Structure 1
Amino acid sequence: MTEHRDIQQWELGEGPYFEPATNTLRFVDILKKQLHTVSLTEGLSSLKTTQFDERVTVTADIEGRDPQKAVVIGAKQGLAVLDRTTGKYEYLAKFDDANALRIRSNDGAVDPNGRFWLGTMTDFDLGPFQPEGTLYLFPHPPSPSPPTPFLTGLTIPNTVGFSPDARTLYFTHSSARTLLAFDYDPATGAATNQRTFYTHGGAGEPDGFRVDTHGNLWQAVYGEGVVLKISPAGEVVGVVRVGTRNCTCVEFVGGGRMVVTTAGDGDGEGEGESRRFGGGVFMVDVGAEGTGRWGFKL
């Protein structure tokens, strides 16, 4: 059950990431070009915001670095390191794309090898989304050379995640309403045997997900106001209903709790409660814990 109360709203909350050492949550607002950090102990009064001059879409820890001081970020042009003490960032590598001015990064994640998987898509200011996106793989150590394209012709590439044994890689292609699965070799980083893991039949689109310790995927569905619990067999075995339509992503924050980020449900796109709570960040007790995260290797 989600407690409904007056909450801070963001335009496009995304990319929630839990920092257990400090019990803090960080997340982005892609449209407002912001990174937010809030203490789950202190609440909203502890909110800190970093403003950028271009879109930042996802973050990850850096192996061996204090995430309160530095993290890696997916930004408009590629993968960068953010100094959180100064708010300045420096690109490690940029996308090699003929449509570089048209695209931006979207969601992504670090794999067990310490490499970063990061998707691209048409930027918001450039009309309807086109099938010009790519899922890239940034190696470690980082190279100034362009990253390796893994999948091309994508419209809205979204979350990358791994099974608890790291033997399966999952990837959401939101616009196709499909979650793909690949056999993954943790030793070499090879992803093979592409197959459809889950196809969504509802009106909304699957957005971001996280995997729990039992191998279930908790999949936010944009446009339906729900998070689906999908078993390792690809079957929906549970539903969390959120008080606004546009769920974007989830994150486990310990104690069986899960955070859900959302996007605004503006004029003409919703009524009543959905509009009121659109863009809020929700917390719900689901009795599950997330699998561990890996840091990007510099």
Structure 2
Amino acid sequence: MADLQEWPVAEPYLNLHCRLGEGPYFEKATNTLRFVDIKSKRVHTVSLAKGPSSLKTIQLDVPVTVTANVQGHDPQEKLLVGLKYGLALLDRKTGRYNYLTRFTDGEADVDARIRSNDGAVDPQGRFWLGTMTDFGLGDFQPEGKLYRFDAGQTREVTRAGLTIPNSVGWSPDAKTMYFTHSSARQVFAWDYDNGNLSNERVFYQHEGPGEPDGFRVDSEGNIWHAVYGEGRVLKLSPEGKIVGQVTLPTKNITCCEFVGTELFITTADDEEGEGASKRFGGGVFRVDVGATGLEHYSFKLGE
């Protein structure tokens, strides 16, 4: 790996000490970056024109794990969010939310154990969202699932027996879907056709002490994959080979997002660490990597 591309980052853009920063999303219409703190139950927004001092926060009463735009709605007013019990619409003016579809039909014992994690909107406007054991219940169990929500009205389990389901994404031609199962240290790929999956294979098997967490796909089909526990974001080629890495001063890297050719990177705290890893844990970092990301799809909300 002598010709491995490297982008070192020394300090955070935002050093706000998220307990579990996640889900960075570029809101193109307003030139803002939004992201969540799952453990603190917050949605953060920062204007990239005004800088860190423009940080705004919505405090919720349940874990919020991922956000997406909704077709036909101003993202400054309504967002799609993954919450503790399912998929919901968040009113950004009031901070109130309404569930569109829950993970279960009133199974209280299951509801108490499970929360959402990462997900994304597919090319047809459906939302794919993983679930996993909630915090405070001991070790994570293989009780998670990957759901596909259609128009916020129907749900379908596409995969079960998951421990830490993570990012979902598509190739530039939308013919391949990727999905990361962090606890297995694997990124899967399928042939994708209008929501139908076939030809499952392991696209990337991570070797090392950390776990692959969240990712984004660039316009050339490379996957930029955060690695939790290793202080880096890997650049994976369309063939699943490591061709570059962003190195960061804190250990627990969670996800990334493209803004132009810059990569914005979320992290989680490192309370048991020391030095820079502890000092900058939970911060948001930025670095120019000379690549551009794919546009996000918007969720199609049913009538």
Q: Please report the TM-score for the alignment, with normalisation by the length of structure 1.
A: 0.95
Measured after TM superposition, the shift of residue 100 of structure 1 is: 2.0
Give the secondary-structure state (helix, strand or coil) at the position aligned to 1:175.
Answer: helix
Among 98, 116, 124, the alignment partner of 1:105 is 116
Q: Does residue 223 in structure 1 map to residue 229 in structure 2?
A: yes
Task: Look up the match of 2:135.
Answer: 124
Q: Does residue 178 in structure 1 map to residue 186 in structure 2?
A: yes
Q: Does residue 71 in structure 1 map to residue 79 in structure 2?
A: yes
Q: Does residue 25 in structure 1 map to residue 30 in structure 2?
A: no
Measured after TM superposition, the shift of residue 126 of structure 1 is: 1.0
Q: Does residue 249 in structure 1 map to residue 255 in structure 2?
A: yes
Question: 1:58 is aligned with what amino acid?
Answer: V
Q: Deviations over 1:91-148 (max 9, x none)?
A: 00000275221010000000001000000000002111000000000012x21x5x10
- State the identity %: 62
Distance 1:295 1:43 in 2: 26
Q: Equivalences for 1:1-298 in 2 at 5 Å?
A: 1-4=8-11, 7-96=15-104, 99-140=110-151, 142-143=152-153, 145=154, 147-185=155-193, 188-254=194-260, 256-266=261-271, 269-298=272-301
Give the secondary-structure state (helix, strand or coil) at the position aligned to 1:100.
Answer: helix
Give the secondary-structure state (helix, strand or coil) at the position aligned to 2:136.
Answer: helix
* Structure 1 unaligned blocks of 5 or more: none
Moved beyond 3 Å, runs of 4+: none
Distance 2:233 2:206 in 1: 12
Q: 2:15·2:282 contact (CA, 8 Å) conserved in 1?
A: no
Q: Deviations over 1:71-98 (max 9, x none)?
A: 1000000000001111110000000275
Higher relative contact order (CA closer than 8 Å, sequence separation 6+): 2
Measured after TM superposition, the shift of residue 20 of structure 1 is: 1.3
Give the secondary-structure state (helix, strand or coil) at the position aligned to 1:126.
Answer: coil
Question: 1:203 is aligned with what amino acid?
Answer: P
Distance 1:65 1:38 in 2: 20
Distance 1:198 1:7 in 2: 31
Question: 1:264 is aligned with what amino acid?
Answer: D
Distance 2:157 2:15 in 1: 40
Q: Deviations over 1:36-72 (max 9, x none)?
A: 0000111111111000111010000001211111110
Distance 1:126 1:3 in 2: 35
Measured after TM superposition, the shift of residue 3 of structure 1 is: 4.4
Distance 1:292 1:27 in 2: 17
**Number of aligned pairs?**
290
Distance 1:4 1:160 in 2: 28
